[in-house]
């Protein structure tokens, strides 16, 4: 019932914005959690590539099992942040595909394997997608992969005034796809909680987002960068890292933010059509891989270390 003299306010719960902006201590813990997650991924991919080379029969279910076990071995791991999506070829073209005991693919022959996964650590929440070649991917698959990588890099390199509506940034990632007459049906980025929800607002880098006041980008927001491309019935590609908005410059036009990529895991270079990349794009990828190598080397050994060194070789 309405109380006389009371003013009713219909607005976003203020706690959402407070949760979305990570403080310096949280940001430091998130960076450490990302390194542990990256080390788990190195161990997983080293196992996966060795098993593939040995001719072992590996299914999408096995990917989930082995990747979850690699994460569980890391310090401060609590649980998965969502159910692992491992989709080979046509299954990868379904953005929310989930392999089940009754229906899943064996990873064999030629094509692309998409793996979208994440963990909850005491120091933060992770969410990462990588696509790896199986056998010999086609020229068209490599062209698509390169375009998605260009989309990812375009958003990763963004620089924008604080309070820019998050939805506005979506177009940066779509440009490389739109130039080829391509598109994808999901948003490019969602907010991520701090040891909380893997999808958490209020910011949303999406063409379907509205430029409402609470959609403004603030320093400290942790958001995904995950453009994709899906050929129905054939293959799917998505390259996802989490990015932290950080202040980079203050001018007479205000405070400008940029994205610090905090996810640490090599982006597979075997599908890249290098002549399609600009010098700036190659420089971004090489710098990222140098950081990944530097941060993860102290946390891995044996086959995982060898895999990390091989996959972070500069272009």
Q: Enumerate the H helices of the chain as residue ranges.
A: 14-20, 24-53, 60-72, 139-156, 170-178, 279-296, 302-311
CB 222 within 8 A of CB 191: yes
The pLDDT of residue 1: 57
The pLDDT of residue 210: 64
How would you list the strands of the sheet with 159-161, edge to edge?
A: 159-161, 254-261, 241-251, 222-225
The CATH classification number of 17-310 equals: 3.90.230.10
Q: Where are the domains of the chain?
A: 17-310
Phi-psi group of 207: left, alpha or beta (phi > 0 → left; psi -120 to 50 → alpha; rest → beta)? alpha
Radius of gyration of the chain (CA): 20
Q: ∠ at Cα 126 (199, 113), nearest 5°?
A: 95
pLDDT tier for residue 4 given thresholds of 50, 70 and 90: confident
The pLDDT of residue 211: 58
Q: Cα separations (Å) of 88 from 83, 92, 176, 236?
A: 16, 5, 24, 8
- Residue 169 phi, psi (nearest 5): -70, -20
Average pLDDT, the chain: 95
Nearest CA-CA partner of 128 in 58, 222, 217, 53: 222
pLDDT tens digits for range 226-242: 999 999 999 999 999 99
> How many CB atoms are located within 10 Å of the residue 189 CB?
26
* Predicted structure pTM score: 0.95
pLDDT tier for residue 212 given thresholds of 50, 70 and 90: low
Distance (Å, whole) CA 148 – CA 180: 11
pLDDT tier for residue 193 given thresholds of 50, 70 and 90: very high
The pLDDT of residue 198: 94
- Mean pLDDT (whole number) for 23-44: 98
pLDDT tens digits for range 263-288: 999 999 999 999 999 999 999 999 99
């Amino acid at each position: 019932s309405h109380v006389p003299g009371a003013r009713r306010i219909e607005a976003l719960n203020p706690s959402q914005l407070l949760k979305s902006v990570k403080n310096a201590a949280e940001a430091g813990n998130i960076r450490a959690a990302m390194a542990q997650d990256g080390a788990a991924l190195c161990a997983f991919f080293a196992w996966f590539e060795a098993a593939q080379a040995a001719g072992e029969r590996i299914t999408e279910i096995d990917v989930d099992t082995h990747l979850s076990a690699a994460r569980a071995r890391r310090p401060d791991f609590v649980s998965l942040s969502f159910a692992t999506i491992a989709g080979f070829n046509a299954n990868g073209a379904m953005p929310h595909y989930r392999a089940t005991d009754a229906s899943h693919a064996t990873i064999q022959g030629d094509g692309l394997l998409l793996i979208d996964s994440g963990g909850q650590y005491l120091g933060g929440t992770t969410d990462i997608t990588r696509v790896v070649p199986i056998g010999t991917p086609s020229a068209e698959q490599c062209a698509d992969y390169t375009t998605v990588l260009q989309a990812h890099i375009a958003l990763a390199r963004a620089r924008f005034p604080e309070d820019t509506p998050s939805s506005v940034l979506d177009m940066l990632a779509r440009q490389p796809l739109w130039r080829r007459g391509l598109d994808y049906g999901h948003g490019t980025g969602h907010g991520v909680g701090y040891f909380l929800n893997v999808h958490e607002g209020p910011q949303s880098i999406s063409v379907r987002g509205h430029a409402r006041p609470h959609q403004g980008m603030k320093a400290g927001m942790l958001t995904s960068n995950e453009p994709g491309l899906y050929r129905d019935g054939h293959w799917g590609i998505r390259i996802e890292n989490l990015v932290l908005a950080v202040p980079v410059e203050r001018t007479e036009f205000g405070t400008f933010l940029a994205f610090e990529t905090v996810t640490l895991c090599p982006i597979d270079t075997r599908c890249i059509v290098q002549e399609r990349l600009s010098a700036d794009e190659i420089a971004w990828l090489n710098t990222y891989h140098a950081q990944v190598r530097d941060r993860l080397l102290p946390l891995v050994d044996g086959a995982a270390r060898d895999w990390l060194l091989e996959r972070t070789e500069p272009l």
